[in-house]
Amino acid sequence: MRSKLGKYRTPYLFIAPFFVLFAAFVLSPIVYSLWLSLQEVVGIYVPLQFVGLKNYLDLVSDPRFLHSLVVTFTYTFFQVTIMVVLAVILALILDQRTLRGRNVYRLVFFFPVITSFIVAAMVFKLLLDKEIGLFNMLLRAVHMRTHAWLEDPTYALPSLITIGIWRWVGYQMVILLAGLQNIPAELYDSARVDGAGSLRIVFRITLPLLFPVIFFVIVMSVIGSLQLFDEPFILNMHGGGAGSGGPADSMLSTAIYLYQTGFLDFRLGYASAVGYVLTVVILAISLLQILTFGKRAGFAEI
Amino acid sequence: MNERGARVFASLTTLAFLLCASAAFAGGTSESTSGKKVQLVVWAWDKRATDTTWAASQEFMKLHPNIEVQAVNFGTQDAHDKVLTALVSGVGAPDLFLMEYWAVGRFEAMGALADLTDQLSDYQANYSPAVWALVSYKDRVYGLPFDGGPAAIFYRKDIFDNAGIPFPTNWQDFAAAGRKLAANGIYILPVQGEVATLWLFGRHASVSDYDGKILFDNPQVVDTYQWLGDRIAKDKSIYYKLPWDPSSYELIKSGKIAAVAAGFWYSGFGISDLAYTPDLSGKWRIAGWLPWKAGDGATGSFLGGAGFFVPKQSQHVKEAAEWMKFVLGRPESEYDQATKSGIFPFQLGAMKQLATQTPALYGGQQIYQTMMDELSAAPPVIYGPNYAPILNALNTALDRIALQGVPAADAIRDAAAQADRERVVK
Amino acid sequence: MNGSLDGYGGEVARRISLYLLLTAASIVMLTPFYWSLVASFKSQSELFDLPNVFIRQPTLANYAQLFGQTLFVRWFVNSCLVAIAYTVLVLFFCSLGGFAFAKYRFPGRNGLFIALLSSTMIPPWVTIIPIFSWFSRLHLVNSYLSVILPGSANVFGLFLMRQYIQGVPSSLLDAARVDGCKEFGIYARIVIPIIAPALGALTIFAFLGSWNSFLNALILLRTPDMFTFPVGMSSLVGSMNPQYGVLMACAVISVVPTSIIFFTMQKQLVAGITLGATKE
């Protein structure tokens, strides 16, 4: 027994520091959260009150929570779909060796990734303002209808999606470019010999071979988008107050709702339940994706 | 093996020590104690608040050499949310903090405030009943007012004169005036979010009782919000943004907004600062809150405003109360603040002293007198402990009425159900 | 479609339209940066004058106000301290852990690794409430530690390190063992130098991640003197009278450190981004 433990001592020691932190700041909070989701905070000097599954039962009939899920899913579906399509197109274009200045273009598209979201959100808030924003000014110049892009419930979510795409499309493009680099050049050559046109090559050879990378990009983006918080938080800081859900709650993502319940109303138990349901949703969606397309994408071997 | 492990842990501990040291180095502001002096930590979110109370604080320190006042300016209005976070976590709460009146009920319900009834009840006579109601709750006193938001309508006399419209005397006439101005491409008001509650309190509508019961699902509130929604969506005479939104400032400066409805404090940073251009000076006037329709009696309303309060956690409740009495309780120090930074004084004594003043910005009008008249007609406002979810729900309701054409009856009913579900105090 | 534009002429037309398209897209991508740069040199009154794409009277007043009247310098220093400490922790823990996962066999290895990977799907909001609770009990709310430690078990970093170290030939490590090198010595003297490029990539990620991180800091930091840069900036946004010129100045300066890192370490950054995705 002793010798066996001794044999594995080194790797365990090596992962120990990481694991201690992981246990302290990821694992145990997850467990604590589960416990907290069964309680309710009553007052500052009053102990927590055990309420069982009440918080979860309340969630099912909470229209704002359900609405927040709709907002989150809508955002995720459109943001990820449009962004990935654009990123694939950009990667295919910028992968062409004959294209001059392609490194400059790559830099340009990547640049938003390194900006802090708060800076991005702030600038967009001013650019998209109804009266004084640059965007509406341009629209007026060409006699098109202007809108309150961030204050009108119809346009608020689409604007948010656009900002999300602007921010992350370059990041996904870089991953896809790397994936393209791994496709052997001979495959293209032999296809060309067979007389295939360039569009045909893209659809028959490039995209299928790139699928594992595209799949990776989709899975990761979906996880990120479902956690949407930063941008709507800053965009709505001024009008409706910090943590508001935007015009007519049109930007109320589940994470924003969690913030409202937990840190503005101090209903910590309910907020934990919101967080737990969101986690389960994200896990389920990721698993679903991996189970349906994972094999084809070679996701089995990590 | 041992040696290796030791090395790993040695480096780990060193790191941890370094980090802890750096953390301790910059640690909390309230923990440090210099000698035997009592440290009073004061939190406010507005530079104006820390600046104006600072002069009085220094005098206070001279009178009480054993007390050192430390003022921290937060910058954001969620300062009192941070106080609540501090209280929940049990550390780092200040001894005094500035809090909007609407939050008093919530803090009281959570048992977060020190009861200052014994120290402060003598001061009740200095304030009008509606004002005293803002710092007390269920007959207990928790603080003193710092600035006040008696409702005010700031309007450009020249714009109304040019359009040949006499300044309206009730809100129905005001709507008609708005339609005329809208025909000239001028908005009559910027209104959004919490500003809309001015009309509710002006009509003496209750949103909640002291125990947190939601009361705003009634015909009066529906009627008021439908009226506002129609002005925004049908007449297009109300600009649907907050008066302190940057675009509102721009429209005010360029003469595209004729009036602003807000608390009196808007004079301090809006009219005289962010929406100010020299050629607007003297063109502004102030009116008190208008009656709802012709024939209704005089009324008043409130928006915002804040007082200083003491968290129960403070170790220096007695000293904090002394600070309040000295810095906020004396008419002369309030008078000082009003003349220096345009903060509306709430004490009857200070108000009387100011009544004859005629700031140039308002073309020689006795604005404090106008506000005093308004205040005497103002009803006491009950925010209750659940005002945060109430306001959130009402804001969403107005969005739905004004932007999505939802009938007010439906929007208000949904909002009441939402606020009821999200009650902090059940 | 291309029938009429066959041959060389068609190719040229295609190229030109491609460049036009890319350039237009680039302008869209860069407009926000350009606008904030321009706005930071404008006075508040000129900020929203139309047309607002050019500066008529450049002023440094916003920058002066940023440095003189806000705690910006303090926030900047806080952010640097936090980001550096965080990066050091992540580099050390992830490379050591990644080494163990890549080069040792031990019971529970795969299970642990999968558990770690799936934890990345958990939104940070689930953990923030307990973390807040932990730190308040330790009386460490509003300390640097409270924003450094929680994210430092960086699973992405561990994954990156493991992927890279798997590519290090085991024969090298065995040779060192034969020479009498202890296990930690192998890590410190052999593995670390070989994986230097990957460490470079992780440095950037960790630094950028910490620099831009908001949630934890928003909840855990409470007094303005302890704010990191994003929280400080959000406090400027949230005030009743935001000075937009000052905010834009703040925005411009905030991009400087990340841009420097980005432009000097581009190669490592790209290598880091792509390593996880394209390694088979």
Amino acid sitting at position C249: A
Query: ∠ CA B211-B217-B222 to the nearest 5 degrees?
Result: 140
pLDDT of residue C3: 44
CA triple B320-B326-B329, angle to 5 deg = 100
State the Cα angle at B273 between B272 and B279, rounded to 5°.
65
Q: What interface predicted TM-score (ipTM) does this complex get?
A: 0.83
Q: Do A216 and C277 touch (CB under 8 A)?
A: yes
Closest CA to A176 of C278, C276, C262, C164: C278
What's the confidence (pLDDT) of residue B91?
66
Q: What is the pLDDT of residue A186?
A: 83
d(CA B305, CA B307): 7
Among chain B, residues having any CB pair with chain C shorter than 8 Å are 3-4, 7-8, 11, 15, 18-20, 22-24, 26-29, 45-46, 72-78, 82, 85-86, 88-92, 244, 246-247, 250, 253, 269, 273-274, 277
- Work out the minimum CA distance from C21 to partner chain B, whole angstroms: 33
Counting as contact any 3 or more CB pairs under 8 A, the partners of A are B, C
Tell me the residue range of the domain where B344 lies: 38-148+304-354
Q: Is B364 in the same domain as B399?
A: yes
Q: What is the mean pLDDT of chain B?
A: 85
The token duo for B204 is 């003496």
Task: Quote the pLDDT of residue C278.
Answer: 58
Helices (H), chain C: 7-40, 44-47, 61-69, 72-103, 109-118, 124-137, 144-148, 155-166, 170-178, 183-185, 192-194, 196-212, 215-220, 229-238, 244-264, 266-278
Testing the interface with C: which of B91, B313, B341 to mutate, by most C Cβ within 10 A? Answer: B91
Confidence label for B292 from pLDDT (cuts 50, 70 and 90): very high
Phi, psi dihedral angles at B151 (to 5 degrees): -65, 140
Q: What end-to-end distance do the CA atoms of chain B give, in Å?
A: 60
Please give the C-alpha separations between residue B174 and each of B57, B156, B169, B177, B362, in angstroms, as whole numbers. 44, 14, 7, 5, 21
- Measure C157 CA to nearest chain A CA, in Å: 11
User: What is the CB-side half-sphere exposure of residue A84 using CA atoms within 13 A?
Assistant: 19
Q: Higher model confidence: residue C219 or residue B307?
A: B307
Distance from the Cα of A154 to chain C's closest Cα (Å) equals 23
* Chain C residues within an 8 Å CB radius of A179: 274, 277-278
Nearest CA to B42 out of B34, B50, B51 is that of B50
Domain C63-278 has CATH 1.10.3720.10: yes
Among A269-278, B281-290, C131-140, where is mean pLDDT lowest?
A: C131-140
Q: Give residue for tokens 């600038």.
A: A123
Residue A197 CB-density burial (10 A; 0-12 exposed, 13-18 middle, 19+ buried): exposed
List the chains bordering chain C where 3 or more Cβ pairs fall under 8 Å. Answer: A, B
Structure tokens at B260: 């602003």
Domain end among B312, B337, B354: B354
Tell me: do B69 and B179 sit in the same domain. no
Residue C4 confidence (pLDDT) above 70: no
What is the rounded distance in angstroms from the CA atom of residue B288 to the CA atom of residue B150? 9
Count of domains for chain B: 2
User: Who among A239, A242, A266 is closest to B84 (CB)?
Assistant: A266
Query: In this model, does residue B77 exceed pLDDT 60?
Result: no
Q: Do C94 and A18 touch (CB under 8 A)?
A: yes
Closest CA to B325 of B17, B116, B16, B25: B116
Yes or no: say if B287 and B151 are a contact pair by the CB < 8 Å rule.
no
Residue-level pLDDT at B307: 92
C244-264 vs C61-69: helix crossing angle, rounded to 10? 90
Position B159 pLDDT exceeds 90 = yes
Beta bridge partners, B305, equal: B148
Residue A1 pLDDT: 44
- The answer to whether the Cβ–Cβ distance between B46 and C240 falls below 8 Å is yes
Across the interface, do C121 and A262 touch by the CB < 8 Å criterion?
A: no
How far out from the chain centre does Cα C245 lie? 25
Whether C234 contacts chain B with CB within 8 A: yes
Query: What are the two backbone dihedrals, phi and then psi, of residue B208, each rounded to the nearest 5 degrees?
Result: -160, 160
Decide if pLDDT at B399 tops 90.
Answer: yes
Please check whether residue A260 touches B, CB under 8 A.
Answer: yes
The answer to whether A201 and A191 have CB atoms below 8 angstroms apart is yes
Of C120, C183, C259, the CB nearest to A10: C183
Q: What is the largest CA-CA distance in chain B?
A: 94
Contacts of C191 in chain A (CB under 8 A): none
Q: Where are the alpha helices (DSSP H) in chain A?
A: 2-7, 9-22, 28-36, 54-60, 63-94, 102-110, 117-127, 134-141, 153-181, 185-193, 198-201, 207-226, 230-235, 254-259, 268-293
* Tokens read off for A61: 């009939």
Tell me the residues of B at the A interface, defined by beta carbons under 8 Å apart: 1, 4-5, 8, 12, 76-78, 81, 84-85, 87-88, 109-112, 192-193, 240-242, 245-247, 250-251, 312, 388-389, 392, 395-396, 399-400, 403-404, 418, 421-422, 424
pLDDT confidence of C6, banded at 50, 70, 90? low
Distance separating the N- and C-terminal Cα atoms of chain A: 31
Residue B26 has pLDDT above 50, yes or no: no
The angle that helices A9-22 and C72-103 make with each other, rounded to 10 degrees, is 150
Does residue B261 fall inside a structural domain?
Answer: yes
We report the CATH number of the domain holding residue B60 as 3.40.190.10
- Both B331 and B284 in one domain: the answer is no
Q: Rounded to whole angstroms, what are the CA distances from B406 to A148, A252, B176, B189, B222?
A: 18, 19, 23, 22, 12
Question: What is the structure's pLDDT at C261?
Answer: 79
Alpha-carbon gap, residue B80 to B387, rounded angstroms? 14
User: Both B345 and B369 in a single domain?
Assistant: no
Which candidate in B395, B401, B410, B426 is best for mutational testing of the A interface (most A CBs within 10 A)?
Answer: B395
**Residue C240 contacts B where some CB pair is shorter than 8 Å:** yes
Chain A partners within 8 Å of C257 (Cβ): none
Contact A28 C214 (CB under 8 A): no
Residue where the block lists tokens 């602007």: A166
Separation of CA A247 from chain center: 22
Any B CB within 8 A of C155 CB: no
Q: Do the domain assignments include residue B308?
A: yes
Percent of chain B with pLDDT over 70: 88
The answer to whether the CB of B410 falls within 8 A of the CB of B396 is no
Which residue in C278, C279, C280 has the most chain A C-beta atoms within 10 A of its own C-beta, making it the best mutation to test that interface? C278
For residue A162, the model assigns a pLDDT of 95
Q: What's residue B180's pLDDT? A: 96
pLDDT mean over B332-347:
77
Res B8 pLDDT > 60 = no
Please tell me which residue of chain C has the smallest CA distance to A166: C29
Residue A44 to chain B, least CA–CA distance (Å): 6
Q: Which of C18, C28, C99, C129 to mutate to test the interface with A (most CBs of A within 10 A)?
A: C129
Q: What is the pLDDT of residues B100-157, one digit of tens each?
A: 899 999 899 888 899 999 999 999 998 888 889 999 988 899 999 988 788 999 999 9
- The domain defined by A54-293 folds into MetI-like fold (1.10.3720)
Q: Is A5 on the interface with B (CB under 8 A)?
A: no
* Local confidence pLDDT in tens for the 302 residues of chain A: 445 566 788 899 999 999 999 999 888 998 988 998 999 877 777 778 899 999 999 999 999 999 999 999 999 999 999 999 999 999 999 988 888 888 889 889 988 888 888 888 888 988 898 877 888 888 988 998 988 899 899 999 999 999 999 999 998 998 898 888 888 888 888 888 887 777 888 888 889 989 888 998 998 899 999 999 988 988 887 655 667 888 899 999 999 999 888 878 888 899 999 999 999 999 899 889 888 887 776 654 44
Strands (E), B120-237: 136-137, 140-141, 143-156, 189-190
Residue among C131, C132, C239, C244 with most chain B CBs within 10 A, to mutate: C239
Kindly state whether residue B9 falls inside one of the protein's structural domains. no
Q: Are B403 and A248 inside 8 Å of each other by CB?
A: yes
Residue B20 lies in a domain: no
CA dihedral sign, ordered A16, A21, A23, A26: negative
A253-278 in b/e form (b: 16+ CB < 10 A) is bbbbbbbbbbbbbbbbbbbbbbbbbb
| Inter-chain residue contact C224 with B72, CB threshold 8 Å | yes
Whether residue B77 and residue C240 make contact (CB cut-off 8 A), yes or no, is yes
Angle at A129 (CA atoms; ends A255, B187), nearest 5 degrees: 120
**Pair of tokens at residue B250:** 């721009």
Q: Which of A21, A266, A274 to mutate to test the interface with B (most CBs of B within 10 A)?
A: A266
Q: Are A43 and B110 in contact (CB under 8 A)?
A: yes
Reported as a single tens digit per residue, the pLDDT across B234-268 is: 999 999 999 988 788 889 998 999 999 999 888 87
Would B14 be classed as within a structural domain? Answer: no
Q: Are B220 and B401 in contact (CB under 8 A)?
A: no
Dihedral pair phi/psi, residue B254, rounded to 5°: -90, 15
Identity of residue C207: F
- B272 and B223 fall within a common domain: yes
- Kindly report the nearest CA distance between residue A263 and chain B, in angstroms: 8
Q: What is the DSSP string of C28-73?
A: HHHHHHHHHHHHHTS-HHHHTPSS-SS-SS---HHHHHHHHHSSHH
Q: Which of C35, C119, C266 sits opposite A134 (nearest CB)?
A: C35
Average pLDDT for C106-110: 89
**What is the rounded end-to-end Cα distance, in angstroms, of chain C?**
39
| Percent of chain C's residues with pLDDT above 70 | 90
Dihedral of the alpha carbons of A193, A197, A198, A202, in degrees to the nearest 10: -90
Question: What number is the average pLDDT over the span B351-372?
Answer: 88
Q: How confident is the prediction for chain C on average, in pLDDT?
A: 84
Q: Which of C89, B346, B270, B321 is nearest to A18 (CA)?
A: C89
